[in-house]
Amino acid sequence: MQQSFKFNHRLGTFLASLLALTTITLLTSFEAEAMPSFSRQTGMACTQCHTQSFGPNLTPFGREFKLGGYTMSGGKGTDAKLPPLSGMIMGSFTNTDKRQDPANFRSGYNANNNFTLDQVSLFYAGKIYGKVGALSQLTYDGYANTFTMDNTDIRFADTADIADIPITYGISLNNNPTVQDLWNTTPAWGFPYTGSAVQPAVGSTALIDGALSSQVGGASAYTMIDNTLYLEGGAYTAFSNNVQKGMGIPADGRARLDGSAPYWRMTVQKDWAGHYFSLGHYGMSASVLPNKQLGLGSSMGSDHYTDLAVDATYQYMANPKHIFEVKTSYIYEDQKLNASRMIDNDPATNHTHLNTYKLNLAYTFDQTYGATFGYNKINGSRGPIFVDGIDDGSQTKPNSEYMTAELVYVPFGKSTSYLHPWLNLRTSLQYIHYNQANGTSVQAPYNNTFMINGWLAF
């Protein structure tokens, strides 16, 4: 009885908070002076490119727009003549089953039940000139109280016909491996699309799985042949320490690559009357100087990571009233930790591996209401645990397994929406359940998390 009351009280608190967050966001959004710039540029509603009217998850048309370098036009009137600038605000409320260690949080935050201002971002999103366009994001992190040059993808794209076969080709300059990718199976744009800085950090992550975000710069050339075969190849190198500092990357989180890191991608896709399928492979090979090697130079060599991934997507798009999706990916990371072995004098860390498996199922009604289930499993051999790319000093198996359920409400983004096309709003209720976390099953449920997220773009 006491547990039931506790759960009902917590649920009531969450629902009340969601209502308050939605109300506050709606009231403040009426004063927005701009609209999502892609919609303004093309003259199309957000539903054309996004399955839930708003958020990273793309429709086949949305992938085509990105492939073409963000330059597609069609908007009319004053809106189309405005510069391609947009803004974004993200906030959340986070509760875990057990109070967390206060030492894990910044000053001013509780051991549990925290409201956070997660991001305030300014975007340049749209055509720059001619066949060159960009998605570039400057972000203020309300939790860390820092500014960061966030996801940036600058493209040149063009089309040609060779032997009556249509070909799109281009070049991407970007600062995060997979941020230029067209599919929502890759780390930069994969589910879940919202989170919180105060939710428990679980599991080791592959290097390609966000560990280099905003710390590297890369260029890749790509082509889509007959709207079926996609090929891409390029390489990344780390920004200098001063550049990373200027971009808001903390000292213990700055990447130090030894040379360039090749990146590649190939995918086949097909759309049969609203049934969209894709099957692909991507990967990266990088030599990294560990953070604990700082000041020692490269005399002890480097750690080498090879990430090999396969991914697949199915979308039922024949009836926009009912959209069904299945997305999955698997990343195998081979880790040759030569530098770490020499520093730690521990041969056991020399050659390890990491497996990351992700699956999510989604249903969206009327591009307004959505339900998504995600499953994540991470396992590997004994070695360092890397949280956000940083070695936490432990030597154990990085095994974690957790499931995420999310309910979403997106009231705007349709051509008939109130205040179209000046704003968009996404609200969600998310629950994460852990079977295993960082190699242990006993304390894993302590990390079970409820989150309420609000996301406004204008």
- Residue 224 β-bridge partners: 168, 230
The answer to whether residue 450 scores a pLDDT higher than 50 is yes
pLDDT the model gives residue 42: 87
Q: Give the tens place of pLDDT for each residue, 322-360.
A: 999 999 999 999 999 888 777 766 655 678 899 999 999
Q: Which two tokens stand for residue 119?
A: 């991001």
CATH assignment at residue 176: 2.40.160.10
Residue 213 and residue 254 in contact, taking contact as beta carbons nearer than 8 Å: no
Q: What is the pLDDT of residue 16?
A: 41
Give me the domain span that covers residue 71.
2-457
- The alpha carbon of 330 is separated from its chain's Cα centroid by a whole number of angstroms, namely 16
What type of residue sits at position 69? G
Backbone phi, psi, residue 429, to 5°: -120, 125
pLDDT at 426: 92
Q: Give the whole-angstrom CA distance, residue 33 versus residue 22.
A: 19
pTM attached to this predicted model: 0.86
User: Between β-strands 216-225 and 449-457, what pairing exists: parallel, antiparallel or unpaired?
Assistant: unpaired
Average pLDDT over residues 218-243: 95
pLDDT classification of 408: cutoffs 50, 70, 90: very high
Q: Is a pLDDT exceeding 90 seen at residue 406?
A: yes
**What is the pLDDT confidence band of residue 378, given thresholds at 50, 70 and 90?**
very high
Q: Higher-confidence residue: 412 or 425?
A: 425
Position 310 scores a pLDDT of 98
Count of structural domains, the chain: 1
On the question of pLDDT at 389 being above 80, the answer is no
What average pLDDT does the chain have? 84
pLDDT value of position 414: 72
What is the spatial distance between Cα 183 and Cα 51, in angstroms, rounded to a whole number? 13
Give the pLDDT confidence of 16-32 residue by residue, as tens digits. Answer: 444 344 333 333 333 32
